Amino acid sequence: MANALFRTKSIDRLMADSGANSDSGLKRTLGAWSLIGLGIGAIIGAGLFVRTAAAIAERAGPSVTLAFVVAGIGCAFAGLCYAEFASMIPIAGSAYTYSYTTMGEFIAWIIGWDLVLEYAVGAATVAIAWSQYLNKLLAILGISPVPYQWSHSPMEVSTTGVQGLMNLPAVVILLLLSLVLVRGTQESALLNGIIVIAKVAIVMMVIAVGWGYMNPLNHTPYIPEATTFTTAQGVTHAYGGVMGVLGAAGVVFFAYIGFDAVSTAAQEAKNPSRDMPIGILGSLVICTILYILFAHVLSGVAPVEFFRTAGKEASVSQAIADFMPGYGWLSNFVTVAILAGFSSVILVMLLGQSRVFYSMSRDGLVPKVFSDTHPKYRTPWKSNMLFFVFTSLFAGFLPDSIVGEMTSIGTLFAFMLVCAGVWILRVRRPDLPRAFKVPMVPVVAILGIVVCGAMIYGLGWTNWLRLGVWLVIGVVIYSVYGKKYSKLANDPG
């Protein structure tokens, strides 16, 4: 195990093994604007439209805006590190690929396994949110919503005592979008581009219209007094004060995952050394500004108690309907557009997940089935369908509070290792050409690690435990399969 821990893959071999310049590899179809759209498509979604309400209700109250600032700062540091890596190593695989060149095969495996929390479990989280807004849309259309027991997990119970059984709409949307991805990235990017315009329009309209409906009392006190809050699943954590803000930052951090999903498509970018930094940092800056304004308006329009009761599900459209008289049409429009927006997020999450395991499979760390490409569409279609099965189990049988926070902590852990990786590679290989260089290394890398670590701390021990169990499972799989079939181990080259 010790040898595997330090066994790194050279940049030259990484480029050769990837087939980056081969006709048999993934098609290069994405330009800078497509990548920015891909990033915004992943970033603006359930994190903003669902997890923001959860952070207000359970963690920070109106100081959720400060949580977005903290999360944005952490993402800025990590985003700079991702941009340097992506411009230097334009290969599919995201943080997994980067860590393979810097910290060794075992750490690379841990990162790859951890990224399942970010992409696959993240897709399940958004699918659950999609199910909530679907029922809202059905109500608007005068159609009976999907019964509670078939649109909620077994861990949820309605106010009337109905026990959830399975979230069927969430499973259905995962299946449909997995089939879209099988057809190809270019088609997916076109669909995503249309949806991105609608999502940005929603955010700007809610900010513009909602600004006049904010009640100053809802922002008082801006930072609630430190106390505790117990969730419906019986988990108690900090509410208000500094720990409440840090915890909320960890919760809304889910809203930022997506800019790094751009890096998983590096092998499909037309000019990765130029386009990747533009795609990653461009999408991050645009979304951070919108997030802070949106959270300020949402927390000002409705009180905290609303987000704990009537506004717990489909919170944005419900807040408009209840607290912005005369704008029922906007509530309806938001519901429809958010459904489409969530679809684009799921699309990018599933894309990122399949590309990570595509790279791991090419390295022999997971079975070959994950890198088998479709003879016509040249997409990892078997991987797409296998991950549909996996994500549907999470979406169908767990609540969004659990899968959402699992996604956040997994992503934060990956970001910390990416920040460390940039620093390590600057020391070990200062000679490598870098189309984009992070300023002030190691200061930026250290700050990224500290801020992301603080958010992990704020998420509490239940999430630390879940992450620990997940990583232990990953170590077992690597010990049984990955270590034995690793191409780098069997052919050091």
The full set of domains in the chain, from first to last, is: 2-490 (1.20.1740.10)
Between residues 193 and 391, the one the model is more confident about: 391
The pTM of this model reads 0.84
Residues 6+ positions from 219 with CB-CB distance below 8 Å: 62, 299, 300
pLDDT score for 100: 81
Beta bridge partners, 230, equal 236
Q: How confident is the model at residue 236 (pLDDT cuts 50, 70, 90)?
A: confident
| Selection from 97-111, 219-233, 387-401 with the highest mean pLDDT | 387-401
φ and ψ at residue 238, rounded to 5 degrees: -65, 140
Residue of 46, 482, 79 lying closest to 277 (CA atoms): 79
Q: How confident is the model at residue 235 (pLDDT cuts 50, 70, 90)?
A: confident
Q: Is 379 left (phi over 0), alpha (psi -120 to 50) or beta?
A: beta
pLDDT tens digits, one per residue of 358-382: 888 888 899 998 888 878 877 888 8
pLDDT tens digits, one per residue of 446-455: 999 999 999 9
pLDDT tens digits, one per residue of 245-267: 999 999 998 888 766 667 666 66
Q: How confident is the model at residue 24 (pLDDT cuts 50, 70, 90)?
A: very low
* CA 437/CA 453 separation, integer angstroms: 23
pLDDT tens digits, one per residue of 78-128: 888 887 887 776 565 567 777 787 778 888 898 889 888 888 999 999 999
pLDDT score for 394: 95
Residue of 18, 9, 46, 69 lying closest to 269 (CA atoms): 18
Burial (Cβ within 10 Å: 0-12, 13-18, ≥19) of residue 479 = middle
pLDDT score for 103: 79
CA 281 to chain centre: 16
pLDDT at 25 exceeding the cut of 70: no
pLDDT score for 19: 53
**What sign does the dihedral 102-103-106-110 (CA atoms) show?**
negative
Query: What is the secondary structure of 90-152 as a DSSP string?
Result: --TTHHHHHHHHHT-HHHHHHHHHHHHHHHHHHHHHHHHHHHHHHHHHHHHTTPPPPPGGGBS
Supply the mean pLDDT for the chain: 85
Cβ 79 vs Cβ 281: under 8 Å: yes
pLDDT tens digits, one per residue of 337-351: 888 878 877 887 888
pLDDT score for 288: 83
pLDDT score for 23: 45
